[in-house]
A and B are shown apart, each in its own frame.
Chain A
Amino acid sequence: MGPRLRKLVLTAHVATSVGWLGAAAVFLVLGIVGLCSGDAAVVRAVYLAMDAASWPVLVPLALASLLTGLVQGLGTKWGLFRHYWVVVKLTMTVLAAAVVLLYTETLAYQADLARRVGDGDISALRSAGPVLHSGIGMVLLGTAVVLSVFKPPGLTSYGRRKRRSPATA
Chain B
Amino acid sequence: MEQQEAFTKVVNIIKPFVRNEEALKNASQQTRILEDLGVNSARLVDIVLNFEDEFGIEIDDESADKVRTLGDAVQVIVSKTAH
To the question of whether A and B form a pair in one complex, the answer is no
Which chain A residues have a beta carbon within 8 Å of chain B's beta carbons? none
